[in-house]
Structure formats: structure tokens, C-alpha cells
Structure 1
Amino acid sequence: MTKLKPVKNLLIGGPSTGKSTVLEALSDRGYWCFPEISREVTLEARQLGIEHLFLDEPLKFSEMLLKGRIKQFEEAETLSTGQVFIDRGIPDVTAYMTHFQEAYPVEFKNANENYRYDNVFLFPIWNDIYTQDNERFEDLELARNLQAALVKTYRDLNYELIEVPKSGIQERIEFILKRIQQK
């Protein structure tokens, strides 16, 4: 008998849109979740003396992100669970690189085509919850521009984007869970 692969549910959106908070709540409910790895990469670089790896060495930062996100995707494929939730996906890397007009190798584009998610939930920019911190360098205007780049990238890759409503955490979770049960 062939083992079914888990449904890979991706959470995308600009900075500070509530993705990580919802992911933590889904994890608390017992769902298998993969957190955003960019903060981990940024903190690792700071320990090596590089204050803003994405700003200083965008290609190196993006290569590290791509490698980590591919690893998450491949690990998700091996799990014995029905649903997996992932905070940010492989195409986010090229969306950011394109937005900042940075060149990237063809392997980045190939990864977008070779690793496909089942559902993509888009968290809209929401002024009321937007915050900046030591790892989040983007101001609200840049966050809006990055959101537009993400939407364009995912749509160009023929993903259906499911917009998550601006509401409380529980309402957002219920929206997502109801949507995945409909498929």
C-alpha cells in the first residue's frame, strides 16, 4: 500500500502579518508545523559578526534560506500526518530577490517548480498588528511592497492564494481549518 503524503499548507504574507502567531497556535492544537527560518539564519549570521546578512550578502542569505526551506519541504513529505503547516515557502526566496533586483541562479527558479505546496494561505498586511524588531528591518511601506512581490510570484507560479481574514487568532485558525477540510 502506498503511503499518502501529508497535505502541505503554506502560510505566506509580508512581514508582521500574523503568520508565526497562527502557526504557533496550530502547533498548540497538535498540528505538525514548520516555523519561519529567516530569523534563525539572521541570528546565526550575527553570531558570525554579520549584522544584516540579507542586506550585506543577499545571495548568501537567500541560498541559506532556500536550502532550509527545501529541507523543511522534504521533511514534511516523510511525515505520517494528514496536514502540515509551513511558515513561508520556497518561492518567497525568489520573490524577495526579484523585489530587491538581486540576481539569483537558475536553481532557485527550478526549486519553485520542483517543490509544490498544496494550499497557500495569504495573510494580508494589517496596520493594527504590524511591528518592527531587531530581525525585522522592513518598515510598513516596504512590507506592502514585499507583499505585492509575494502575490505576484505565487500567482505567476499558478498558485491559488487563499486570503486569511483580518481577525483574531482563533477566527483565523478556524478559517484555515475549515478551508482544508473542504478540499
Structure 2
Amino acid sequence: MPVTQRNNAPTALEKRFVITGGPGAGKSTLLEALATAGIRHMPEAGRAIIKDQVAIGGEALPWGNSEAFAELMLSWELRSWHEAAEIAGPTLFDRGVPDVIGYRRVAGLSVPDHIWRAAEQFRYAPTVFVAPPWEAIFTGDAERKQSFAEALATWETMVTTYTELGYTLVELPRASIIKRVAFVREKLGW
């Protein structure tokens, strides 16, 4: 019987890497720095949804209709997951489908079955980077209205959620952006 050689192209899971954590921990800054090195990324759903909802006077906001906000987040994350399939190389995600579960938990909302199914069906690479709370760089803005205490609670919830879903978490160092970029590249062999 002939031996079938494995294609060396990365599988769908090996191409999708998540960076999660609480707000204001430097995830987006890290992803922008990695993008300048030519590494593709998918932007965070929450910020974009908030900007759009504010612009149109919509109510699907964390401080408005949090149920609608969570459903928009899920749709965004699923679209990003599918879009990454069209990218030749690896893609980093500024949050992923499991973050929707974490958001709902932080907001005190139940997690419907369809969101659990989405988190199980639309998987990412087994290694997930988590940005720890870092008060020295934490700032609020028009889209980020959480306090540092809320950022800490969000981080704890994301760690719990991703762990429950079977991911291995790698904590990003509280270090300069140059060191964080080098850390991620080294861990991923890029």
C-alpha cells in the first residue's frame, strides 16, 4: 500500500491564531505592529461595531442592547474566521468566537446553545495568546468605557472561557511592543 505524504501546507486551524484578553492590554497595538512585519490580522469586532452603532444611532451597544451587540460580535467573528480561509498564510485574530462567550458572561447574559456550537465548530489554533491586564498602559476612550477593574474581570473570564474550550493559553509579557512582537514571532516560529 503506498504511503501518503502529508501536504506541508498549514491546516485551517494552524493558520488562525487568536490574541485575547481584557480591554486596554495592548492587543490591537501588538497586531498593528505585527502587520507592519507583513503578518495578516483580523480586527476586533467590538470596536468596529461600537463605532458603527454610534454613527448610525443604533442600540446594539454594550451599554445599550448588549444582546444585540453580542449577536453582531458573533456574526463579525464568524465572517472573519471564513475570510481567513482565503488568506494564503497565517492570520492573527484580535479576539475570536470564544470572546463572545466571555463577553456575554461578563455582561451577565446567558450563553445560548448556538454560541457554544459556534465556538466548538469554528476553532482556532490550539495555542491562544492572552494579553494580561496591565494598568500602566490601560486607557479609556470613546469605545472603551470599562474601568481597569472591569478589564481585569474580562481577562479572567477570557482565560476561563478559552481554557474550558480546550485551548492552551500563552500569556504575553508585560513588555515593550518590540519585545511582544519578538515573543509572538518566536512562539509561532515566524
Return the TM-score normalized by structure 1. Answer: 0.93
Q: Specify whether residues 52 and 130 from structure 1 end up closer, same or farther in structure 2 by C-alpha distance, changes over 3 A only.
A: farther
- Identity over aligned pairs, percent: 31
Correspondences of 1:35-114 after superposition (within 5 Å): 35-50=43-58, 53-81=61-89, 83-114=90-121
Measure the CA separation in 1 of the matches of 2:79 and 2:39: 19
Say if 2:23 is the partner of 1:15: yes
Relative to structure 1, is the Cα distance of residues 63 and 52 closer, same or farther in structure 2, using a 3 angstrom cutoff? closer
Contact 1:59–1:104 under 8 Å retained in 2: no
Which protein has the larger Cα radius of gyration, Structure 1 or Structure 2? 2
Q: Which residue of 1 aligns with 2:154?
A: 146
CA distance in 1: counterparts of 2:107 and 2:150, whole angstroms: 11
User: Does the alignment pair 1:29 with 2:48?
Assistant: no
| 1:141-176 residue CA offsets vs partner (Å, 9 max, x unmatched) | 111111111111011111100011000001001111
TM-superposed CA distance for 1:52, in Å, is: 7.0
Does the CA contact (< 8 Å) of 1:95 and 1:149 recur in 2? yes
Q: Which runs of 5+ in 2 are unaligned?
A: 1-5
Which aligned pairs between 1:128-147 and structure 2 lie closer than 5 A?
128-147=136-155
> Offset of 1:107 from its aligned partner?
0.9
1:124 equivalent among 124, 132, 136: 132
Alpha-carbon distance in 2 for matches of 1:150, 1:59? 18
Are 1:180 and 2:180 matched, yes or no? no
- Name the stretch that deviates more: 128-137 or 1-10: 1-10
Unaligned runs of 5+ in 1: none
Helix, strand or coil at the partner of 2:144: coil
Superimposed CA distance per residue, residues 79-124 of structure 1 (whole angstroms, 9 cap, x where no aligned partner): 111x211101111111111122212431111011011111310111
SS of alignment partner, residue 167 of structure 1: coil
Residue pair 1:11, 1:122 contacting (<8 A) in 2 also: yes
Q: In the TM superposition, what is the alpha-carbon distance from 1:48 to its structure 2 partner? A: 2.4
1:49 and 1:140 map into 2 onto residues whose CA distance is: 27
- Deviation at residue 51 of structure 1 after TM alignment: 6.7
Tell me how many residue pairs correspond in the alignment.
181
The answer to whether the 8 Å contact 1:164/1:172 transfers is yes
Determine helix, strand or coil for the equivalent of 2:100.
helix
Q: Give every structure 1 segment of 4 or more consecutive aligned residues whose post-TM-superposition deviation is greater than 3 Å.
A: 1-6
More helix by percentage: 1
Say if 2:166 is the partner of 1:158. yes
